[in-house]
Structure 1
Amino acid sequence: MSIKVNKVLDAKGLACPMPVVKTKKTMDQIEPGEVLLVEATDRGSLADMKGWAKNTGHQYLGSKEEGDVLYHYLRKSDPSETSEIEEFPHVTSNEELINKLDDESITVLDVREPAEYVFSHVPGAVSIPLGDLEERMGEIDKESEIHVICRTGNRSNMAAQQLAENGFDKVFNVKPGMSQWDGPTENK
């Protein structure tokens, strides 16, 4: 079975958030119903593409992997089916989170891919990649103040929205995230 592709986007070698940024721009150039193939090497793009499509209303058809390249298939929806990704209203800065790290009543939720988490993360952070969040929400204490972090604030924005939609009411998106984190870190 083959999928008819209308446009191919080469996002190989780009890291989050660039594959999604380029996907959004390219999606604006194709017609509703057409299929975009995004070629990416960033492992995080798997969760990013699914999350972006879900949050905008475009259809995520699936992905396949060949060697180091991920091939993501997305179908452009009709404008009546789509929406812009809203900025999550509750944002906290890296500095504000650093000042709260000793508070045991907070949970730091890292939604990056496992390979990103292993090399450097906030001490005590819980690792649940964005793509796994829906199935693993039960692992997070709803009573806790949750600070969601990723590399740049984009995946954490999508994760924070998902948590809020599922009854978590003390959620904060940490921006700019690990790309500019100068607080304590650990690795596993």
Structure 2
Amino acid sequence: MAIKADVQLDAKGLACPMPIVKTKKAISNLADGQILEVQATDKGSMADLKAWAESVGHQYIGTVDENDVLLHYIRKSSNEEIEEKTFEQTISNEEIIDRASNGGMILDVREEAEYAFGHIEGSKSIPMSDLEARLNELDKDKEIFVICRTGTRSDLAAQKLAENGFTKVYNVLPGMSSWNGDLSKKL
């Protein structure tokens, strides 16, 4: 079934945060109610684009997988300038090991494949796409340091945690792309 979209955006071959960056630009040129089709190959884009759309007030309609190309459909909510929220509580890469060793938890929200090829020893993997369904695995009384590759997904995940009553949440910046510490490949 072909789904009608007003504008198509090619984000194939791009990894986070680029599908979101290109989507922001494309959707700003749409009229209220128009539908954007974002074509992506990054599996993480499913959770990323959905979380981004919800965080800025656009309607995430859904995704169709067509021969390993994900077709995401997003409806622009209004012509008014939408202010994107960013999570205020942040922490640097350098600070998280000490803070986590004092009872905090490092939560890695990258996709399973990204985590498998290198992660911070002792971190917990819950991909962004699974976060809402797995909130019960997290302790609201502990500090939680949310990390991804660049800080974009972790920002959205930190917002999601805060919306669900977690108060000791920090977005780790700039994320794994700038991590200089040891990496584990143990699953």
Shorter-chain TM-score: which interval? over 0.9
2:58 matched residue in structure 1: 58
Asked if the contact 1:151/1:179 (under 8 Å) is kept, the reply is: yes
Runs of 4+ more than 2 Å apart: 82-85, 98-103
Could you tell me which residue of structure 1 aligns to residue 13 of structure 2? 13
Q: Match for residue 100 of structure 1?
A: 99
* Residues 107, 144 of structure 1: 8 Å contact kept: yes
Contact 1:98/1:183 (8 A) holds in 2: no
| TM-score normalised by the chain length of structure 1 | 0.94
Structure 1 range deviating more: 18-27 or 89-98: 89-98
* Match of residue 148, structure 1, among 132, 146, 149: 146
TM-score (norm 2): 0.94
Please state how far the C-alpha of 1:85 moved relative to its aligned partner. Answer: 2.4
Letter in 1 for 2:71: Y
Unaligned runs of 5+ in 2: none
Cα deviation, residue 101, structure 1: 4.4
Alpha-carbon shift at residue 111 of structure 1 (Å): 0.8
Question: 1:89: how far off?
Answer: 1.0
- Confirm whether residue 176 of structure 1 aligns to residue 174 of structure 2: yes
2:177 is matched by which residue type in structure 1?
Answer: S
Maintained 8 Å contact 2:140/2:166: yes
Whether contact under 8 Å (2:9, 2:37) holds in the other structure is yes
**Match in the other structure for 1:166:** 164
Give 1:66 shift: 2.0
More displaced stretch, 18-27 vs 117-126: 117-126
SS at match of 2:74: strand
SS in 2 for 1:42: coil
Question: Residues 62 and 20 of structure 1: is their aligned pair in 2 closer, same or farther, counting only changes over 3 Å?
Answer: same
Is residue 109–residue 146 contact of structure 1 (8 Å, CA) maintained in 2? yes
Structure 2 equivalent of residue 35 of structure 1: 35
Give 1:127's aligned amino acid: S
Structure 1 letter corresponding to 2:7:
K
Q: What letter corresponds to residue 83 of structure 1 in structure 2?
A: I
Q: Distance in 2 between matches of 1:79 and 1:56?
A: 12
CA contact (8 A) 2:56 2:85 kept: no
Q: What is the identity, as a one-letter code, of the residue corresponding to 1:19?
A: P
Q: Which runs of 5+ in 1 are unaligned?
A: none
User: 1:83 and 1:132 mapped to 2: Cα distance?
Assistant: 27
Q: Distance in 2 between matches of 1:172 and 1:97?
A: 10
1:62-73 alignment, distance < 5 Å: 62-73=62-73
